[in-house]
Chains A and B, each alone.
Chain A
Amino acid sequence: MKSKSFLRGIAAQFSTKSLVLIPIAVGINLIGGTLSSTLKLPLFLDMIGTTVIACLSGPWVAALCGLLTNVFLSLVANPVYLPYALSSVLCGLVVGYMVKAGLFKKIWGVILVWLACALVNTITASLVTVFVYGGATGVNGTSVLTAALVVAMKNIVISVVSSSMLENLVDKGITVFIAYVIVRRIPKRFLSQYALDDTDDDELDDIDEDDDSDEDSSEMSVKLSETATDHAEDTASESVDGHDATSTGSSNQGER
């Protein structure tokens, strides 16, 4: 039962509203990548979109976005990126759940997100680099750094991890900072349509409060709680677990 509602919660994150964000977030990821190569920075910056979408649509949509970014990169640029989808997916999940816990609202929380993201990425990317590619992929500055470290330290795994750690701390720092700035600038009205911005749920005030005539409101409210219940049933598969009820549910509550 619990696992069922968990799965249902995940399915609820994939509404049309979130689905249309994914290609755009993938686009932002790739623009970040293009930007860093245009500026000749030895960074990826390819998780800005994933971080932004994690703030809007939650961890699983962010995970899918990360996966798609790497699939896309591997199709149009270089299949080397495909196994690194593991990093992108895990980072999407980590950022998503941290945002869900409210960490993106405070500066120290943002710093935690940065560190967590850098750590997850370092571990997974190093694992992929060592076990899939034997140490280097030849496509970026990290490989050169790794090669240099291998010469100095004579150990492939340590070299891969340290060069990856160094790069990820810088890369994810910039990524999380840019994503934070973007999310702060998204218009409120747009943001409020996404599940993670649900501060309104416990306000039970009447939507007609600024109206003068209210004589037939009792009839109206019967009507509405009826339709609201219907709607809640229709979209049962779309409603997130209890505390995350969509506002249709809350309007239903309000009317009662």
Chain B
Amino acid sequence: MIETYKYPDTDGKFGEFGGTYVAESLIATLEELKEAYKNAQEDPEFKREFDYLMKEYVGRENPLYYAERLTEKLGGAKIYLKREDLNHTGAHKINNAIGQGLLTKYMGKTKVIAETGAGQHGVATATIAALLGLECKVFMGAKDAARQELNVFRMELLGAEVITVDQGTATLKDAVNEAMRYWVQHMEDTHYVIGSALGPHPFPQIVRDFQSIISKEAKAQILDKEGRLPDKVVACIGGGSNAMGMFFNFIEDKDVELIGVEAAGNGIDSGKVAAAINRGSVGIAHGAKMHMLQDDNGQLQGTHSISAGLDYPGIGPEHSFLFDTKRASYEYASDKEALKAFQELSRTEGIIPALESSHALAYVMKIAPELPEDEIIVVSLSGRGDKDVEMVKAELEAGKND
């Protein structure tokens, strides 16, 4: 069992996972980033600025809300929601974007690039670019850009340039590749704001650290409200930044069960999933060793999830490690279950959750009724569902016609 948790190690590894699997051309920039991040961590001025923006701009701390009506309806464990959906821009993504935006300035760079799937991280990066006066380009798969037209406009409104990517499957993984290619040619003045706890070292660590404010707050809040730690902490997982943020400050509390919920798409055995741990194997892509969906020849596979934010074939290397060491377990929820949870929370609590977060909620709704009333579950409500209402409407109408 993990007593004191000190990862990544000096080689950027979480056990066997993570690392720096990148072209030699990127090494110098990653070294620069490592150095800058180390200095920033020790710089009280950097911390002060981050804390200031978290409070005044993002609106933290956000509540740990006791979902009393949902708890009563399910008739089991007490359910608390960590309200990342109340952040400025509507999701946890902004925590990391602000941290990396400040880091960009700290390194004396003037431009940022980002990849985005659904557009949430793109919007968050465009937002901080506007705030901090940075030039911003966002890479987005052509397919994603077509199905998230409004988010493309939102980014443009914020002053960012959206570059659509036709290569490969024209989705998130290809946007990552293209952002990497662009970065290698523009490293001198450009920082790549990776949006999830993924990629080569030190990115998984940086993203986790900036997101760990979620569990730092949640831990203090639950101790304040309940006088004890929760029994279970639950978060949805795509690349895994909200889950890493939600887990991090509980890792050493070994009695707290950590549960990630992957996207089971059309059903966990349908072949149309985005469940890297439940249906993938260990491989190397996008700079790190991690679990990922791949075929018999080591080619990354296409994914499916109703939630664009979970629609990625890999999972952050630290999750691979937490899984491997059995510190966290990884469950799943299907599109249908997520849709049901989406509606359920809307009706019982008046909170419309993001489809991503709905996966975590679906799992909680499944287990809570079986658990005793004195059990406590904290679930990360990673984002709000306004962005998803059109999609949900279409899905529900299609469902009626089935």
Q: Do A and B come from one complex?
A: no
Q: Which residues of A contact B (CB under 8 A)?
A: none
